[in-house]
Structure 1
Amino acid sequence: MSEELDLDLDRLSSTERSALETYSSVTGQEPAEAIALLRRSQWNVQIAIAKFFDGEGPDPVEEAREALQSPPPRPARRTQNLMTDDLTEQLAPAARSAADPAPRVNTQPESQPAFRPPFILALLFTPFNLVYRLLYNSFRLFGTLFPFLPRLFNTTANPALQAARRNTTGRRPLGPKDTAARFIREFDEEYGSHSIPFLENGYNMALEKSHRDLKYLLIVLLAPEHDDTSGWVRDTLLAPEVAEFINDPQNNLLVWGGSVQDSEAYQVANSLKCTKFPFAAVVVHTPNVSSTAMSVVGRIAGTTSPSEFTSKLRTITSTNQEPLERIRATRAEQQASRSLREEQDSAYERSLAIDRERARQRREAEAAREREEQEAADRQAAEEKKQRDLEQWKQWRAQSLGTEPGTDVKEAVRVSVRLPSGERIMRRFAPEADIEELYAVVECYEVLQDESRPTDVKEPEGFTHEYGFRLVSPMPRAVYAVQEGGAIREKIGRGGNLLVEPIQDEEEEDEDGEEEEVKEEGTEVSS
Structure 2
Amino acid sequence: MAGEDIDPSQLSVSQQDALQTYLAVTGQEPAAALPLLQRSEWNVQIAITKFFDGEGPDPVAEARASLDSPPTQPPRQPQNLMHDDLLPRSPFRPPRAVEPATRITTQSEYEPPYRPPFLLAIFFTPFNILYRLLSSSFRIFGTLFPFLPRLFNVITTPVLQGISGDTRGRRSLGPKDTAARFVREFEEEYGTHTLPLLENGYNMALEKAHKELKFLLVLLFSPEHDDTNSWIRNTLLSPEVVNFVNDPENQLLIWAGNVQDSEAYQVSNSLRCTKFPFAALITHTPNVSSTAMSIITRVTGPTTAAEFLEKLRTAISQNRSSLDRVRSTRAEQQASRSLREEQDSAYERSLAQDRERARQRREAEAARERAEREAQEQQTATEKQERQLDQWKRWRAQSIPAEPAADDKEAVRISIRLTSGERVVRRFAGHADIEELYAFVECFDVLQNLTCDDEGDVEEPEEFEHKYDFRLVSPMPRAVYEIEAGGSVRERIGRGGNLLVESIGEDDDDEDEDGENGEIDG
TM-score, structure 2 length as denominator?
Answer: 0.72
Contact 2:54 2:292 in 1 (8 A): no
Q: Which residue of 2 aligns with 1:433?
A: 432
Please list, as runs of the form range in 1=range in 2, the aligned pairs for 1:394-409 lying within 5 A after superposition: 394-409=393-408
* 1:389 CA displacement: 1.1
Equivalent position SS for 1:499:
strand
- Cα offsets for 1:185-238 (capped at 9, x unmatched): 333443444333322322122212211221111111121223333343344434
* Alpha-carbon separation, structure 2, partners of 1:57 and 1:395: 107
* Alpha-carbon separation, structure 2, partners of 1:367 and 1:201: 63
Contact 1:447 1:453 in 2 (8 A): no
Q: Which residue of 2 aligns with 1:474?
A: 475
Contact 1:210 1:216 in 2 (8 A): yes
Choose which of 120, 123, 134 in structure 1 pairs with 2:122: 120
Q: Which residue of 1 aligns with 2:247?
A: 248
**Amino acid corresponding to residue 499 of structure 1 in structure 2:** L
Contact 1:183 1:258 in 2 (8 A): yes
- Cα offsets for 1:433-466 (capped at 9, x unmatched): 2222211110100111212434322222222212
Aligned CA distance change for structure 1 residues 50 and 269 (closer, same or farther; 3 Å)? same
1:76 counterpart = 2:78: no
Equivalent position SS for 2:328:
helix
* Alpha-carbon separation, structure 2, partners of 1:50 and 1:476: 111
Aligned CA distance change for structure 1 residues 276 and 464 (closer, same or farther; 3 Å)? same
Contact 2:284 2:291 in 1 (8 A): yes
Equivalent position SS for 1:409:
coil
* 1:59 CA displacement: 7.2
Choose which of 128, 135, 154 in structure 1 pairs with 2:157: 135
* Alpha-carbon separation, structure 1, partners of 2:79 and 2:224: 46
Please list, as runs of the form range in 1=range in 2, the aligned pairs for 1:288-307 lying within 5 A after superposition: 288-307=287-306
* 1:285 CA displacement: 0.6
Q: Which residue of 2 aligns with 1:485?
A: 486
Contact 1:395 1:453 in 2 (8 A): no
Equivalent position SS for 2:157:
helix
Please list, as runs of the form range in 1=range in 2, the aligned pairs for 1:83-482 lying within 5 A after superposition: 90=87, 99-118=98-117, 119-120=121-122, 123=125, 124-125=127-128, 128=131, 135-136=157-158, 169-449=168-448, 450-451=450-451, 452-482=453-483
Q: Which residue of 1 aligns with 2:58?
A: 58
Equivalent position SS for 1:125:
helix
**Amino acid corresponding to residue 481 of structure 2 in structure 1:** Y
Which region of structure 1 is more displaced relative to structure 2, 439-448 or 420-429? Answer: 420-429
What stretches of structure 1 of length at least 5 have no aligned partner? 1-46, 145-167, 511-527
Higher share in helix? 1
Equivalent position SS for 2:58:
coil
Q: Which residue of 1 aligns with 2:36?
A: none
* Alpha-carbon separation, structure 2, partners of 1:91 and 1:73: 34
* Alpha-carbon separation, structure 2, partners of 1:410 and 1:139: 152
- Cα offsets for 1:160-206 (capped at 9, x unmatched): xxxxxxxx842222332332233233334434443333223221222
* Alpha-carbon separation, structure 2, partners of 1:339 and 1:235: 48
Contact 1:217 1:284 in 2 (8 A): yes
Please list, as runs of the form range in 1=range in 2, the aligned pairs for 1:40-59 lying within 5 A after superposition: 58=58
Number of aligned positions between the proteins: 431
Please list, as runs of the form range in 1=range in 2, the aligned pairs for 1:26-45 lying within 5 A after superposition: none
* Alpha-carbon separation, structure 1, partners of 2:59 and 2:476: 114
* Alpha-carbon separation, structure 1, partners of 2:409 and 2:454: 31
TM-score, structure 1 length as denominator?
Answer: 0.71
Contact 2:196 2:254 in 1 (8 A): yes
* Alpha-carbon separation, structure 1, partners of 2:193 and 2:315: 24
Equivalent position SS for 2:220:
strand
Which region of structure 1 is more displaced relative to structure 2, 454-463 or 241-250? Answer: 241-250
* Alpha-carbon separation, structure 1, partners of 2:371 and 2:341: 44
Q: Which residue of 1 aligns with 2:500?
A: 499
**Amino acid corresponding to residue 483 of structure 1 in structure 2:** E
* Alpha-carbon separation, structure 1, partners of 2:216 and 2:473: 108
* Alpha-carbon separation, structure 2, partners of 1:469 and 1:285: 100
